[in-house]
Chains A and B, each alone.
Chain A
Amino acid sequence: MTLTTALIAGLVLGGTYALVAMGLTLQYGIARIMNLAYGDMIITAAFAAFVLQGALAVNPILGLALVVPGGFVFAYSVYRLILAPLVRRAPDRGALEVDSILTTFGLLFVVQGVLLVIFGSNYTSYSFLNVPVDVLGAPIAANRLIALVLALVIGLSLYLLLTRTRWGTALRAVAVSPQSAGLVGIDVNRAAAFAFALGGGLAAAGGVVISMYQTFTATGGVVFTMKALIVVIMGGVGNLLGALIAGLLLGVVETLVSTYADPGLTLAATYTIFLVVLLWRPQGLFGRAMR
C-alpha cells in the first residue's frame, strides 16, 4: 500500500469517525447525557441499511432518508421515556452523569441483545459500489469515497446549521450554560431532547455510512462508542469542528499504524492517543477550558 492510498483510506475512516463523534458531542455537550449505548445505535442503523439493501433492494444512500429519521425518533423516545426522569431527579450535574452512564450502559445490553436475537453474532456485510476509482494515482473503492463525501457533507451542513441559524444559536447557548439559557427564554428541556435526538440521527447516518464499506457485528457497538468518545474528548466536548478534525486525525493515525506497524496494534494506538490527550489537555485539543 502506498502512502497516498494509506492517507486516503485514513481520511475515509476518519470522516466516518468524525460524523459519528459529532452526534455524541451533541448528546454530551448539549443534552449532558453520556450515552454509552451510542455505538449500538450505530450498529442498529448498519443492520437497518443491510436489511433495506438485501430484502427490499433499497440503495443505502436512499436508505439514509429512512434510517436517519428512524434514529432521530428512536433517540427522542429514549430521551423522553428513560432519560428525562433522571434529568428531573438529579440534584447536580455529577449525579446526572453517573445515572446516565449507568442507564445507557443497561440500554447498551438491551439493544445488543435484541440485535443478537434477530441477526446472530456473525460478521455481516453487503456489497455496494465496490468498484475502484482512481484518486491522485491511487485506486480506492467508490463506496469509501462516497462514505467520505457523505460524512463531510452531513458534518459541514450541521456545523452551518448550528452556527448560522437562530435555532442553532439557542442550542449552543444551552451547551454553554443551561441556567442562563433558561433565563433568556430558551426551553432548556426541549433543547436537550432535541439535541439528543439529533445525535441519534447522526449515529444512524454514521451506521449507514459504515455499513457501505465495512463488516459489522451485533457486538461491535462498544468499539464505536469508545472511538466516538475519544474523538469527542480530543476535539473538545461540544465542539463540532474539533470533532471533525480529531476524527480525521484518528482515522489517519489508525490507518498508518495498521499499514506500517501491525494491524493488531490499532486499538492500542487509539487508547494511547486517548490517554495522552486526557492527561495533557483534558479540555480537548481544540476546546476551551469549560467549567
Chain B
Amino acid sequence: MRTTFGIAAVAAVFLALALAPFHLGTYGVGLLIGLTGYVTLASAWALFSGPTRFVSLATVAFFGIGAYTTAVLYEVLPPVLVLAVAGLIGFIVALVVGLSTLRLAGVYFVIFTFGLAELVRQLVTWYEVNVTGTLGRYLFVDFGPEVVYWQLLALCAVTIGLSFLIQRSRLGLALKMIGDDEVVAEHCGLPTARVKLALFAVSSVIITLVGAIQAPRWTYIEPTIVFNPTISFLTLIMALLGGAGRLWGPVVGAVPLFLLFEWLSANFPNHYSIILGLLFMAIVFVLPRGVLEFLEGLVRRQRSGRRETPFKGEVAS
C-alpha cells in the first residue's frame, strides 16, 4: 500500500518535471538539464559504488566516451542509433575495465579508475591528432534543449527505477553482502566477481548515455572539455553527501550541491575549486555516511528516548 502510494507520488513528480519546460525560459531549461544530468550521474554511480563500497573515480571516462560518440556519429546516424551505439561502447569498455580491475583491492581500484579518464583522454587526443587530423569537433543538432532535457529525465527515471528494483531483489542483497565483507560473501557461494561486473556495466552504460545525451549542449567538443575530472569528483561528492547506500541519497545530495555549484561558479569563479575542496573535506568529516543516514540516526535516537527498543529494520529507504 505504502509502496503503491510512493510510486504514484514519484510518477506525479516526474510528470510535473516533464511539463516544466513549457513554463520556463531557456535559462531554466538549461539549469534543469544540468540538474537532471547530475542526479542521474550520482544515482548511477551509487548503483555500483554504494553497496559494494568500491570508490570509482572513472565517471568522467564513461561520460566522455558517450559525449564523443555523439560528436563523431551525429552526422552519420539517426539520434536513437547514436545513443544505442554509445551505450554499446560504454558497455564494452565497462566489461574490459571490469574484467581486468574488479579483482583489485580497494585502493588499487580507486587509483586505476582515477587514471582511467586520463588514459582515455590521451588516447582520444592522440587518435584525433594523428588519424583524423583535427582536435575538437563542432556539433549542431536540429532539436531544442527541451528534447535533451526530456531524454535525460527519462534516463533519470529509468535509473532510479532500476536502483529501486535492484535494492529489493536478490542481486541487491548480494551486493550489500559484498560491501559488508567480500570474503564472507564468497564463502556463502556468491559469484562476487560476476555480480560486481554486472552492476559496474549497468552503472557505466547509464553514465555513458548521460554523456551522449548531454553532448549537444556544448556545440564544441574537445577531449579536455568532456574528460574534465571535476565531473567524476562532483558526482562522487553528491552521492556521498546524500548517502550512496540509499535509493534517494544521490538525489538528496545532487540537487542542493548542483545549485550551490552553479551559484559558486557564477559568483566566485576564481575561488571555486578552493570552496569545492573545503566542502568536500567537510562532508567526509561531518557526514561520512550521508545526510539521510544522519537524519535517520537523529529520528531513531528521539524515538528510542520514548520507547524501549529502536525500530532498526523498519525505516523505509
Binding site for B on A (CB under 8 A): 34, 36, 82, 85-86, 94, 97-99, 101-103, 105-114, 116-117, 222-223, 226, 229, 233, 262, 264-265, 267-268, 271, 274-275, 278-279, 282
B276 CB–A CB distance under 8 Å: yes
C-alpha spacing A209/B273, complex, angstroms: 27
B8 CB–A CB distance under 8 Å: no
Chain B, Cβ-Cβ closest to A101: B110
CB–CB B284/A102 < 8 A: yes
Chain B interface residue count, CB cutoff 8 Å, equals 41
Within 8 Å CB of A262, what residues of B? 126, 130
Choose one: B104, B272, B284; the contact of A278 (CB below 8 Å).
Answer: B104
Within 8 Å CB of A82, what residues of B? 281
CB–CB A103/B281 < 8 A: yes
Q: Is the interface of B mostly helix, strand, loop or mixed?
A: helix
Encode B101-137 as 1/0 by CB contact (under 8 A) with A. Answer: 1001111101110110011001101100110000000
Choose one: B107, B123, B278, B288; the contact of A101 (CB below 8 Å).
Answer: B107
Q: A34-B107, A97-B106, A271-B115 are in contact. List 9 more A-B contacts (CB 8 A).
A: A34-B110, A82-B281, A97-B107, A102-B280, A106-B281, A111-B277, A264-B125, A264-B130, A279-B100
B27 CB–A CB distance under 8 Å: no
B168 CB–A CB distance under 8 Å: no
Chain A, Cβ-Cβ closest to B116: A271
Q: Is the interface of A mostly helix, strand, loop or mixed?
A: helix
Choose one: A85, A94, A116, A274; the contact of B285 (CB below 8 Å).
Answer: A85
A8 to chain B, nearest CB (A): 26
Q: List B residues 268-317 near A (Cβ within 8 Å).
A: 270-281, 284-285, 288
CB–CB A268/B119 < 8 A: yes
Query: 15 A–B contact pairs at CB < 8 A?
Result: A86-B285, A94-B106, A105-B233, A106-B279, A109-B280, A111-B277, A113-B271, A114-B274, A226-B118, A262-B126, A267-B122, A271-B119, A274-B112, A282-B105, A282-B108
C-alpha spacing A116/B112, complex, angstroms: 27
Within 8 Å CB of B229, what residues of A? 222
B230 to chain A, nearest CB (A): 9
Choose one: A98, A109, A113, A229; the contact of B55 (CB below 8 Å).
Answer: A98
**In the complex where A98-B106, A103-B284, A226-B115 touch, is A264 in contact with B277 (Cβ < 8 A)?**
no
B240 CB–A CB distance under 8 Å: yes
B53 CB–A CB distance under 8 Å: yes
Chain B, Cβ-Cβ closest to A274: B115
CB–CB A98/B272 < 8 A: no
C-alpha spacing A229/B109, complex, angstroms: 12
Encode B232-258 as 1/0 by CB contact (under 8 A) with A. Answer: 010010001000000000000000000
Chain A, Cβ-Cβ closest to B280: A106
C-alpha spacing A279/B106, complex, angstroms: 14
Within 8 Å CB of B106, what residues of A? 94, 97-98
For B107, B229, B236, B272, the residue with the greatest tally of chain A CB atoms inside 10 Å of its CB is B107
Closest A-B pairs by Cβ, 6 of them: A109-B277, A113-B274, A106-B280, A110-B277, A113-B273, A106-B281
CB–CB B274/A106 < 8 A: no
C-alpha spacing A142/B125, complex, angstroms: 33
C-alpha spacing A165/B103, complex, angstroms: 38
C-alpha spacing A5/B114, complex, angstroms: 33
Within 8 Å CB of A222, what residues of B? 118, 229
A119 to chain B, nearest CB (A): 12
Within 8 Å CB of A268, what residues of B? 119, 122-123, 126
B58 to chain A, nearest CB (A): 12
Within 8 Å CB of B112, what residues of A? 274-275, 278
A49 to chain B, nearest CB (A): 23
C-alpha spacing A36/B115, complex, angstroms: 12
For A86, A94, A110, A233, the residue with the greatest tally of chain B CB atoms inside 10 Å of its CB is A110
A210 to chain B, nearest CB (A): 19
CB–CB B270/A271 < 8 A: no
Choose one: A106, A279, A282; the contact of B278 (CB below 8 Å).
Answer: A106
Chain B, Cβ-Cβ closest to A90: B288
CB–CB B271/A117 < 8 A: yes
Within 8 Å CB of B108, what residues of A? 233, 278, 282
B122 to chain A, nearest CB (A): 4
C-alpha spacing A198/B112, complex, angstroms: 26
C-alpha spacing A110/B233, complex, angstroms: 13
Encode B197-241 as 1/0 by CB contact (under 8 A) with A. Answer: 000000000000000000000000000000001000100100010
